[in-house]
Chain A
Amino acid sequence: MSIDRLPPEALYRRCDPAQLLFDTSAELEPLAKLFGQPRASSAVEFGIGIARGGYNLFVMGSPGTGKRTLVKQQLARKVAEQPAASDWAYVNNFREPSKPIALELPAGRGAALREDMRTLVEELRIAIPAAFESDEYRARAGQIEAEFTERHEKAFTELGREAAKDNIALLRTPAGFTFAPLKDGEVISPEDFAKLSEEERSRIAQRIEELQGKLEGIVRNVVRWRREQRDRVKQLNREMTLFAVGQHVAELKEKYRDLQRVLDYVDAVQQDVIENAEDFIKAREPQAGVMGAPTEAPSFRRYQINLMVDHGDREHSLIVNEDHPTYQNLVGRVDHIAQFGTLVTDFALIKPGALHRANGGYLLLDARKLLMQPFSWEGLKRALSTGEIRIESLADLYSLVSTVSLSPEPIPLNIKVVLFGDRFIYYLLQAYDPDFRQLFKVAADFEERFERTPENDRLFAQLVATLAAEKKLAPFERGAVARVIEHSARLAGDARKLSANLEAVSDLLCEADYWAHESKRDRVITADIERAISEQRHRADRLRELMHEQILRGTVLIDTTGERVGQINGLSVLQLGDYAFAEPTRITATTRLGEGKVIDVQREVELGGAIHSKGVLILSAFLAARFSINRPLSLAASLVFEQTYGLVEGDSASLAELSVLLSSLADAPIRQSFAVTGSVNQLGEVQAIGAVNEKIEGFFDICNARGLDGKQGVLIPAANVDDLMLRADVVEAVAAGRFHVYPVVHVDQAIELLTGIPAGEPVATGGFAPGTVNGRAARRVRGLSELQRKLGPAREAPRKRKKP
């Protein structure tokens, strides 16, 4: 069973610069739209296009895959064809100020109305006082007052004269009126009054009582007359105000005659101005302060237009990206201001949220940020479900404060929400939030990788040109572009794919541009890309270097020469953020008489993950099926990842584990110049694993540091060959015959290579040929079984019953 080493060409799929038909990226047209995401692209197009309730989008995929870029590109095209959305404004509700009225206006007319109302108030501040200072008003007001004065003076005069006939005076006291008898034109003194006869005193008292009754009637009438006078003055004021206001309001109504709600509002304003004309007159007078503090002139805030959304300017986009989706930022809020120690508010303090700004358009939100903000998710769902934006104060809702607040009229909502997030969040919401399924019916799933075809290579080159232009980078030579494409395939972990991580590409381009600039070049060459990759690796490489150092110093035991029974080099990958590297790990196995169990020491001490444990159990099944099909497996084995102190997860070491178990059973030494990666199934077939490039490079670096002897190499699953995009130094070493990569499809291939002993095929008489690895292992298992039979089955010691 011979295994071919992989040739250097199989270790790295180059991008031939010759296929790129340009000198530098500056010659290329920028990309009109993102490529490589046909599924997500059509989903986004569908989601944007369908105008039905609940068809909001959830765009999922790894960070940096261009989700936002693609969505924004498609939205920009859609919005360009779309008519402008309405303006929205809140205005005072003169009947119920706590319930401000929402006005919808065609785009651009909100700002016009705001300006018109401001102008109206300015004009009324001149026109109304002028009307009240006119001769006509003075004359008519004077007539009313004269009529009143005449009427009540007549009543008092007649009463005074009537009293005077009986020598009684009508006197004014500080707080009212009284009657007193006169003597010689003066109020009679008490002494003189006492001198009058009883009859006379009685007559006077009776007469005064009669007069008091009449006076009482007059005073009551005066109150009524005064009320009548006030009503007439009020009516006059209304007429004068209407005269002053009428023309201005008529012009305003003519301008907005197509908007009934605005006309209703203007009518309400007119009515309020008429009823509060005094404010306009007072506004011209200096106001006395309270306790020395200056006082504000009468406020005309109630006539303001609180323009919540202004679409007059097309630059005010219908695509709103809310980066901080708190409840208030999303739904809007009602602010308060402090006045004399009290918090007060009005319609002018209503602030719009992202839903208002995006109404009629599209709202882009990050799902994670949204879910992390208290009440935001519920607020968004409520708005989408009800189809309206209702501003509710959380403080009021939860009775946290007791201030006067508002209940603004809800605004109808016509919006498409696009959520961006991880798949994890999407499926979590799918599973646990029934509303989510109703409200976000379109999922756009972004690929992490896409096919590496010549066409896509060319588009990728255009992408490089687009990013370079956007970020104002130096032009990239085609060799540099080819190297970027190759690096993208490496990032994808697949020589046939390109990574969709645009952010990583963008970062690489920026850094390469930096190094080109440092080297005084006006264009980016391949060396700059190499430098950028190398520097990126170096910046993240501290821990890897430290671990290598420990291996090279012998602190961590890894052999790269010689051979040993029950000992093999596995390969472990460590992922630190977005940087991954691999290190060889010594795996050892021991075998002895037992009950068919393979003890995974990692699992026993709870340092093994579930997948790893699964891999080990598969080994037990493999051993039993291969060597002990007709009898109990009387074998106990122990597997240890030596000098590991953290969690071991994954099944990519199961090929190495099985090989080391076979080595122990067969007493066949394993060459330590090899490292092994790959998972196996119950049949011994080798299956693909991840991070194959990092694993090969991890072992190569150790061997290289110790000196390559031409015998060292890595066994990998044959299924991973297409993933290979190895570093140039590894490829060079392989080309020079100083390092090797072996693709294996079965454990027997691996064990043969590792031990140099034939694995051994099953023979017709049963079992395996003697002297082969399998034959030796089978013999050992058989010996253990016989020993077991001689010793008898292990029995549990009988329990002694205690007497009650």
Chain B
Amino acid sequence: MSDSERAPAAPRIVVSFDTTPVGEAALETALSLAAIWDAEIAGLFVEDIGLVRMAELPFTRELGLTSAVLRSIDTTDIERALRLQAEQSRAWLAAAAAALNLRWSFQVVRGQSVNAVFEYGEGCALMILGAASAGVVARSVELSGVGPARRSVSELQALRYLSARPVVLLFDGSERGMRALAAGHSLAVRAGTRLTLLVTADSAEEFDRRRQQARSWLVERSAVARYVWLKSRDVESVARAVGAENASALLLHEHVTPNDRRLLRSLLSELGCPLVLVS
């Protein structure tokens, strides 16, 4: 199902988002980048098959987010809740895109979260994933009860998430890494926030070289960044470094993205912020 209002035009940004804070942050990131590049936003809501399966299991019970009360849950409940969430997400995207005069579309798919995003985002400039895309959540639980449907357009435009914390970028000095740097820089400038580069390097010399490479590029644009040497690129190390920086979004290019979708889901679940995949 597509709600596109205009004919799609490159570049196209796929964003998988939901109504959690990280989902909101993902949409905010997507909107910012789309505004910078005049890109189309393709919203994707994945009805996680894992959740549907879970509801079919005999002993499944849900612990209320706010009430902290355990209650039974079945497939019907889950499907109804997912539909509602999708509707809210769609309305939210429509309002935000209209406010920024952006092209947009929205699609609901059922499947394994990350896989679905990759299938749908084939050939897109960017894929942005909220943590929920991983289907496994362990962070950033919003308990205040303030849902996205009540957020105003003005609040969306105010970059509620991005402006508060730095944009973090995994930088390896490659050509794609420079594209990720460009994207990260644009995002940080638009959000009025800082930029942090997690520079992957096996040695201090390599770190210095890559840092100098990034710094030169940024100096030309009168920008500065913070540089953190990331010796190991495993999921735990990246997640720890991102957590330490209290990142508002993490940008990766696809070559440094774990091929194993399980690893990617694991990273997403650990991050607590949107993941931006730059192709």
Contact = CB atoms under 8 A, between A and B. Distances in A.
Contacts of B144: 226
B82 A156 contact: no
Contact of A152 (B137, B141, B164): B141
Contact of B136 (A152, A159, A171, A190): A171
Contacts of A188: 53, 57
Interface residues of B, number: 47
A177 B63 contact: yes
A193 B56 CA distance: 10
Contacts of A153: 138-140, 243, 272
Interface stretch (A217-225, A485-493, A539-547, A769-777): A217-225
Interface string A209-248: 1001001100110110010000000000000000000000
A142 interface: yes
A307 interface: no
B254 to A, nearest CB: 21
A453 interface: no
B174 interface: no
A320 to B, nearest CB: 51
A156 B141 contact: yes
Interface string A175-206: 11110110001111110010000000000010
A294 interface: no
B262 A146 contact: no
B136 A170 contact: yes
A182 B34 CA distance: 37
Contacts of B203: none
B270 interface: yes
A193 B63 contact: no
Given A172-B132, A186-B50, A208-B59, A216 B138 contact: no
B62 interface: yes
Nearest to B265: A185
A149 interface: yes
Given A180-B57, A190-B57, A223 B63 contact: no
A222 B143 contact: yes
Given A188-B53, A216-B63, A220-B68, A171 B135 contact: yes
A177 B143 CA distance: 12
A381 to B, nearest CB: 57
A285 interface: yes
A222 B152 contact: no
A138 B138 contact: no
A321 B129 CA distance: 77
B149 interface: no
Interface in B264-279: 269-270, 272
Most A Cβ at <10 Å: residue of B54, B246, B270:
B54
Given A138-B164, A157-B138, A187-B54, A178 B62 contact: yes
B241 interface: no
A150 B19 CA distance: 21
Interface string B52-85: 0110111111111110101001000010011011
B257 interface: no
Given A174-B84, A220-B68, A223-B68, A212 B61 contact: yes
A160 interface: yes
B51 A171 contact: yes
B186 interface: no
A173 interface: yes
Tell me if A's interface is mostly helix, strand, loop or mixed: helix
Given A186-B50, A223-B143, A175 B246 contact: no
B136 A176 contact: no
Interface string A118-146: 00000000000000000000100010011
A1 B249 CA distance: 135
Contacts of B132: 172
B105 interface: no
Contacts of A172: 20, 132, 136-137
Contact of B68 (A142, A171, A208, A216): A216
B62 A173 contact: yes
A286 interface: yes
A193 B164 contact: no
B112 interface: yes
A171 B73 contact: no
B165 interface: yes
B154 interface: yes
Given A153-B138, A156-B138, A212-B70, A178 B63 contact: yes
Contacts of B63: 176-178, 212, 215-216, 219
A404 interface: no
A149 to B, nearest CB: 7
Contacts of A208: 59
Interface string B110-142: 001000000000000000000010011111110
Contacts of A157: 138-139, 270
Contacts of B51: 171, 173, 187
B24 to A, nearest CB: 14
A394 interface: no
A655 interface: no
A152 B137 CA distance: 13
B193 to A, nearest CB: 10
A160 B269 contact: yes
Contacts of B65: 175-177, 219
A397 to B, nearest CB: 44
A726 interface: no
B246 A146 contact: yes
A188 B138 CA distance: 19
A288 interface: yes
Nearest to B139: A153
B53 A187 contact: yes
Nearest to B68: A219
A181 B53 CA distance: 10
Contacts of B64: 175-176, 219
A188 B81 CA distance: 21
Contacts of A175: 62, 64-65, 81
Most buried by A among B51, B61, B68, B81: B68
B150 to A, nearest CB: 10
A169 interface: yes
Contacts of B50: 169, 171, 180, 186-187
Contacts of B85: 174
Contacts of B58: 190, 193
A226 B143 contact: yes
A152 B141 CA distance: 8
B61 A178 contact: yes
Nearest to A169: B136
Given A142-B246, A160-B136, A186-B112, A174 B56 contact: no
A183 B177 CA distance: 35
Nearest to A221: B68
A178 B164 contact: no
Nearest to A184: B262
Contacts of A187: 49-51, 53-54
A340 B68 CA distance: 38
A220 B66 CA distance: 9
Interface string B145-172: 0000000101000000000110000000
Given A138-B164, A188-B57, 13 more contacts: A153-B243, A156-B139, A160-B269, A176-B64, A180-B57, A181-B57, A186-B50, A186-B112, A187-B50, A212-B63, A223-B66, A285-B154, A286-B154
Interface of B: 19-20, 49-51, 53-54, 56-66, 68, 70, 73, 78, 81-82, 84-85, 112, 132, 135-141, 143-144, 152, 154, 164-165, 243, 246, 262, 269-270, 272
Closest 5 CB pairs between A and B?
A: A172-B137, A174-B81, A187-B50, A180-B54, A160-B138
28 contacts: A149-B139, A152-B141, A153-B272, A156-B141, A159-B138, A160-B138, A170-B136, A170-B138, A172-B20, A172-B136, A172-B137, A173-B51, A174-B82, A176-B65, A177-B137, A178-B60, A187-B49, A193-B58, A212-B61, A215-B63, A216-B68, A219-B63, A219-B143, A220-B68, A223-B66, A223-B143, A288-B152, A288-B154
